[in-house]
Amino acid sequence: MHSLWQNEIAEQLNTPLALRVYTSRLLGQEPALVLHGGGNTSVKTQITNLFGETEEILYVKGSGWDLETIEAEGFAPVKMDVLLKMAGLNDLSDSDMVKYQRAAMTDPSAPNPSVEAILHAIIPFAYVDHTHADAIVTLTNTPDGEGMIQELFGKRVFVIPYVMPGFALAKLVHEMTQELKWQSIEGLVLMNHGLFTFSDDAKVAYEKTIDLVTEAEQFIEAKLCLKSEAIEETTGHDPSGYPEQEISIDLIELAQIRKLVSAQKGAPQVALLNSSLPSCHIASHPKLRDIATRGPLTPDHVIRTKRIPVILGEDFETDLSEYASQYIEYFESYQQGQTMLNYAPNFAIWRDKAAISFGKTVKEALIIEDITNHTFDAILTAQQISRYQALSAQEIFDVEYWELEQAKLKKSTSNNTPLLGKVIMVASGSDDVREALAAELTSQGANVIELNHEQDFDTLDKCQEAAETAVIDFGGLDNLICLDDNSANQLLINTCEAFLEHGLSPTVLCVNHNTLPVMSSDTIKVLALNCQLSNKNGQNNNQKSAIFNLTSAIKMMLSKEYLPSEEGVTV
């Protein structure tokens, strides 16, 4: 890992907060340090208040901000004296901690301070950087993790055993460091959690993270080399790296998986196939079920991924049903009055094939894919140098059902975007009509595949490619809308039918068709819509009105509430 610090940029930054933003973004640019909102940073400085008094302030990353893109307004200004007094309390619920931290802010419009604000406050340096570095958590997620950290860093880091983030962690660090000479160490390693570095200089604090993580990466690489050499000496084969693997994916089966998971979740899901090397390698691992179900790399990942994936074999329905039963059993074993989350998986490992991530949106599924890729790499690495050992089910449950997360759950409102998660193909029609419809469907949450011209699907190969693209990109196909009556439509409909059969409320909607197609599957609805619409491009008032009427009618016909009639719809 290399430092991204540039003096010519840093020299133009003339406030501690500006430097804090800069180095936070440097940390956020490296996925091996933080992922999707993970980690947090802070800077201690002084301000003059309304009464002309000098106050010590901690600017700490605010809730909901990502280090890669954070701005100055993403930092919450909190009074240091209040945070230090809170650190000395014997007990404090995390909900009360959040309330009192917010009350101690000097700007009520700022975001909520990080739940680790008190911990940042008690570290006696201006700049504090906290990351969930892959190399560090890979080492600490092993049975001899603390021993390896000590072997690597010696007394240059201070090791903190795992406890829940929030007040409990801040309290423990406060108690354990009472006699610590902070100047004698370069960082804190939090077992199964991450790394803290610090300095009164922004560059030094940042580069301490880079240096310590680089040492950890080199330490792991050295251990892997020793292991590889030993295996090669015994077997004659070099086991290092991921071997290239050929996998065969049945896209009909992927669509079936998406449909089953959507049913479990009670809402349409995107299902993204992850064919990265770590994904394929872990899917074909002989001890797949054992190593893949030990828990997440860091406890905060559970909010995105759940504790473990579903392992899919040949009977998807049975596998998903058993996963749901096991999740309910897991909840009942540890719950203390919390509200149970949905029991469906957030990602799957399809045995001998690849991983699949699920989400209401592509963005949500991609975040899960990113997290699981890093986790797969860490699991496989830990297995080679020792043994992957995550936190216990109880400890992961405590984070998954943390009171702060439960409070968010109670406050959250359901997304009313009616087509969220649906996959819709729109074929032919004029550019004006097709683009307007695609934009409207997208605004309603749909994932839209546009076939721009009849030439895009006038052969069987082109139709097959279009249908397969929908499944590869989103996991399935739910609706096909043919915007005019042309000879290529029937070929496209016939090709898509096999995928539509496993869609969610699958529908073929035909606009201005003389004859409606007959589907071989009764599960696929065929709807007719007649509209006074020109197939030529042009935006006169009559055409704009017709497009508006068309898109409104299509949204209505694709809604759950629509009851089809034999006459179809005319607008």
CB 295 within 8 A of CB 396: yes
CB 97 within 8 A of CB 11: no
CA atoms of 82 and 151, how far apart (whole Å): 38
Mean pLDDT of 391-398: 97
C-alpha dist (Å) from residue 80 to 119, 246, 326: 11, 56, 45
Each residue's pLDDT tens digit, 241-272: 556 667 889 999 999 999 999 999 999 999 99
**Range of 411-415, 523-527, 557-561 with top mean pLDDT:** 523-527
Q: Is residue 349 predicted with pLDDT exceeding 80?
A: yes
Burial class (CB in 10 A: 0-12, 13-18, 19+), 194: buried
SS3 494: helix
SS3 492: helix
Dump strand ranges (E) for 263-389. 270-274, 310-312, 347-350, 354-359
The sheet with strand 127-131 has its strands ordered as 75-79, 54-61, 40-48, 127-131, 194-199, 187-190, 157-160
- Residue 247's pLDDT is 81
- Residue 139's pLDDT is 98
CA atoms of 174 and 195, how far apart (whole Å): 16
Each residue's pLDDT tens digit, 518-543: 898 889 999 999 987 655 555 566 77
Percent of the chain whose predicted confidence (pLDDT) is above 70: 93
Common-topology check for domains 7-222 and 252-411: yes
CA atoms of 303 and 461, how far apart (whole Å): 42
Q: Is residue 229 predicted with pLDDT exceeding 90?
A: no
CA atoms of 26 and 206, how far apart (whole Å): 8
Q: Give 195-234 as a DSSP string.
A: EEEEESSHHHHHHHHHHHHHHHHHHHHHHHHHHHHHHHHH
Each residue's pLDDT tens digit, 163-182: 999 999 999 999 999 999 99
Q: Is residue 348 predicted with pLDDT exceeding 90?
A: yes
CB 557 within 8 A of CB 509: yes
Instruction: Please report where in the chains the tokens 């020793």 appear, as a residue.
Output: 226
**Residue 330 — very low, low, confident or very high, per pLDDT cuts 50/70/90?**
very high
Which tokens sit at 369? 């894919």
**Residue 109 — very low, low, confident or very high, per pLDDT cuts 50/70/90?**
very high
Each residue's pLDDT tens digit, 205-216: 999 999 999 999
**Residue 403 — very low, low, confident or very high, per pLDDT cuts 50/70/90?**
confident
CB 425 within 8 A of CB 495: no
Mean pLDDT of 29-51: 93
Mean pLDDT of 494-505: 95
SS3 270: strand
- Residue 99's pLDDT is 95
Helices 16-28 and 202-235 pack at an angle, to 10 degrees, of 20
- Residue 236's pLDDT is 57
Q: Is residue 232 predicted with pLDDT exceeding 70?
A: no
- For residue 128, give the H/E element and its range: strand 127-131
Strand partners, 59: 43, 77
Q: What is the second-level CATH architecture of the domain 423-558?
A: 3-Layer(aba) Sandwich (3.40)
- Residue 477's pLDDT is 97
- Residue 432's pLDDT is 87
Q: Is residue 193 predicted with pLDDT exceeding 70?
A: yes
- For residue 194, give the H/E element and its range: strand 194-199
The domain defined by 7-222 carries CATH number 1.10.10.60: no
Strand partners, 358: 271
Mean pLDDT of 72-94: 96
- Residue 535's pLDDT is 56
CB 205 within 8 A of CB 197: yes
Pick the CATH number of 252-411 from 3.20.20.100, 3.30.360.10, 3.40.225.10, 1.10.10.10: 3.40.225.10
Mean pLDDT of 365-375: 96
Domain ranges of the chain: 7-222, 252-411, 423-558
Q: Give 440-462 as a DSSP string.
A: HHHHTT-EEEEE-SGGGGSSHHH
**Residue 228 — very low, low, confident or very high, per pLDDT cuts 50/70/90?**
low
Which tokens sit at 15? 């406030």
CA atoms of 526 and 510, how far apart (whole Å): 7
Q: Give 362-415 as a DSSP string.
A: HHHHHHHHHHHHHHHHHHHHHHHHS------HHHHHHHHT-HHHHHHHHH----
CB 374 within 8 A of CB 380: no
CB 236 within 8 A of CB 321: no
Range with the poorest average pLDDT among 63-77, 121-135, 514-528: 514-528
**Residue 446 — very low, low, confident or very high, per pLDDT cuts 50/70/90?**
very high
